[in-house]
Structure 1
Amino acid sequence: MNTILVIGGSRYFGKSLVTRARDAGHEVTVLNRGSSAPPAGVGHVVADRDDEDGLRAALGSRSFDTVIDQVCYTPGQAAVARRAFAGRTGRYVMTSTMEVYDPATLPGPVPAPVPVAEDSLDLARTAPTAPHADPAHAYAEGKRQAEAVFLREPAFPFVSVRTAHVLGGGREEFTGRLAHYVERIAAGSPVDVHQAPYATSFIHHREIADLLYWAAGQSFTGPVNAASHGAVDVTALCELVAAQLGRRPRYRLVEEGAAASPFSFDRAYAMDNGRAAALGFGFGRVAEWLPTAIAEAAGVNRLRSAAPTGLLPPSCSH
């Protein structure tokens, strides 16, 4: 039995990760600000991760075999965690994102080749930059800089799991990105796409929970890409949604550089999952689970459409 601390872990695949580790017999603790209680059989530490003194006080003398950080978004948060958990953990796993490879948010040369492998991004050269006004740029750069903080003069063995776009789970999928397609295609509204959209990487919500749990028990360090086999472009996604709904998708082309619907990209950065696979993790295929994820999203959409205005069950709201 190992002791595992999950920072965050209160929604979506974080909840699955927590219960997965608990049911495997590990001593699991969740750290959050107290907004939600962990499931039965899981410990709870209430602290604001941005408050270093308060975090240290809340942790007391606790130490952990592994910390899994689900909610590290900035270099400042990484720096606090690096100091606070030095000497308290034998392994630190940070949930990162494929957006770190997005050429649109990178200041230097575009990673190549595609699909991108972990070593295409040199975080040793990542220098702090001013916050970006665009949320997508700020998110990607924040994750890059957070990884870089942990990698510089490591205080403990560190892993960054660069996860693909996570789908599945119906109501649990709080981003609403898959629901966007279900709603628009069901209504006969056009989907905004690029002239020649590039395929992108996806992973099922249970698969990423399993991978994070697996990574916690391994000995490798450094970045690892997390993506199901098989990239999919936005038009293929729309065709699958349309088949579930018995409708034909309509498309509206956007100009170069303009915003489009989620998962429509005018640049390539789908991920190579070869490192994780070589280390022993068995990925599924997008084609195997995406139809079910779409059906789940369509079911939620039908429920929302059938509910009278103002009477939608709270568990179905985002």
Structure 2
Amino acid sequence: MIGASRYFGKLLVKRLQAAGHQVAVINRGSSPAPPGVEHLVVDRDDEAALITALGSRTFDVVVDQVCYTPVQAAIAARAFGGRTRRYVMTSTIEVYDPATAGLPTVAHGTLVPEGIVDPATWLVRMDLPWQDAAYLEAHYAEGKRQAEAVFAQHHGFDFAAVRSAHVLGGGAQEFTGRLAHYIAHITQGTQVIAHAEALPTVFIHYEELAGLLLWAATVTDATGPVNACSDGPLDVYGLGAVIAAQVGRKAVYRSVAAGEPASPFSFDRHYAMSNARAKDLGFSFSHTTDWLPGAVAEALDVSDAPT
């Protein structure tokens, strides 16, 4: 596994071990590997060093948690070509964001299927400044689209891209701070900035995402993109209502027009994903409202903990 130093990646390692699999973790060594795994400390961006570190090893499957650019994907495709039969990349809902690519318009209320972004035909531009951190941050979605495309067009192994919804849960492990943003504002009674006509998005619990990645790596032979999201799209006001019920306070909003900046998970454009393909392949999802109150409670426990 490439990455796996935090959040659902660490949980995936534990679940692979519990299922009896031998696990090797590849990362730069910024944090120790979980007990019982082989740890290869190497920078994935250094192709020669990566190939040297791999030595003569072969793998049944590679799970890539931290591939953000076509350059990284091309290095990995060369390094792991002939070493693995299957490659699973963790991708993102952001590949569907119509604000970052010329994608077909999807009617509001229609959940977006995988075929809207086909990595087998997506244009790859290696000449763009992917090594520039500011450029990469501003082009995160396109970096993921092109990384998928490199693997899909490589043909050196079977490839699947797990396109994850917004991941929540895990208390202090949820490092983005987006759920904490809402909890703080609603608890303190301060205004949450939201679009007046905010559109729904989709979410997934970090444990469910780890379960789907385990399934993608060890159960299904399906290739291509697979959307990963719990049932039940939710807009920012629905999210706020769940949090408000947990903290015992009323959410206060300040409305802004479409196109203006707003809080996380307030969207003025539609790209909530469909999980129908994963279901058809045999994976079962929970409903967002089944786990979201517990995720909020975990985050509250963290915010209430003494510092």
TM (normalized to structure 2)? 0.94
Q: Render the CA deviation track for 1:159-186: whole Å, top value 9, x for unaligned.
A: 0000000000000000011000001111
Structure 2 residue aligned with 1:171 = 172
Task: Identify the match of residue 95 of structure 1 among 90, 93, 99.
Answer: 90
- 1:186, 1:239 → 2: CA distance? 12
Q: Give 1:108 deviation, angstroms.
A: 4.3
The Cα RMSD (Å) is 1.6
Q: Does 1:156 align with 2:157?
A: yes
Q: Render the CA deviation track for 1:278-307: whole Å, top value 9, x for unaligned.
A: 10111111010000001111111122xxx4
Q: Does 1:21 align with 2:22?
A: no
1:82–1:155 contact (8 Å) kept in structure 2: yes
Structure 2 residue aligned with 1:193 = 194
Structure 1 residue aligned with 2:74 = 79
Q: Identity over aligned residues, as a percent?
A: 57
Q: Give 1:135 deviation, angstroms.
A: 6.4
Q: Give 1:20 deviation, angstroms.
A: 0.3
Q: Does 1:63 align with 2:63?
A: no
- Secondary structure, counterpart of 2:23 in structure 1: strand
- Structure 1, unaligned stretches of length 5 or more? 1-5, 313-318
Q: Give 1:127 deviation, angstroms.
A: 3.9
1:7–1:69 contact (8 Å) kept in structure 2: yes
- 1:211, 1:263 → 2: CA distance? 23
- 2:105, 2:142 → 1: CA distance? 14
- 2:105, 2:44 → 1: CA distance? 33
Cα distance change, pair 59–112 in 1 and its aligned pair in 2 (3 A): farther
Q: Render the CA deviation track for 1:16-66: whole Å, top value 9, x for unaligned.
A: 000000111100111111111211111111110000000000110001000
Q: Does 1:12 align with 2:13?
A: no
What does 1:109-258 align with in structure 2 at a 5 Å threshold? 109-111=104-106, 114-123=110-119, 124-128=121-125, 130=128, 137-217=138-218, 218-258=220-260
- 2:38, 2:118 → 1: CA distance? 37
1:105–1:137 contact (8 Å) kept in structure 2: no
- 1:137, 1:214 → 2: CA distance? 32
Structure 2 residue aligned with 1:269 = 271
2:124–2:150 contact (8 Å) kept in structure 1: no
Q: Give 1:136 deviation, angstroms.
A: 6.1
Structure 2 residue aligned with 1:315 = none
- Secondary structure, counterpart of 1:150 in structure 2: helix
Q: Which letter maps to 1:12?
A: Y
2:201–2:270 contact (8 Å) kept in structure 1: yes
Q: Which letter maps to 2:115?
A: D
**Count of aligned residue pairs for this structure pair:** 300
- Secondary structure, counterpart of 2:204 in structure 1: strand
What does 1:279-294 align with in structure 2 at a 5 Å threshold? 279-294=281-296
- Structure 2, unaligned stretches of length 5 or more? none
- Secondary structure, counterpart of 1:251 in structure 2: strand
1:159–1:223 contact (8 Å) kept in structure 2: yes
Q: Which letter maps to 1:271?
A: M
Cα distance change, pair 45–161 in 1 and its aligned pair in 2 (3 A): same
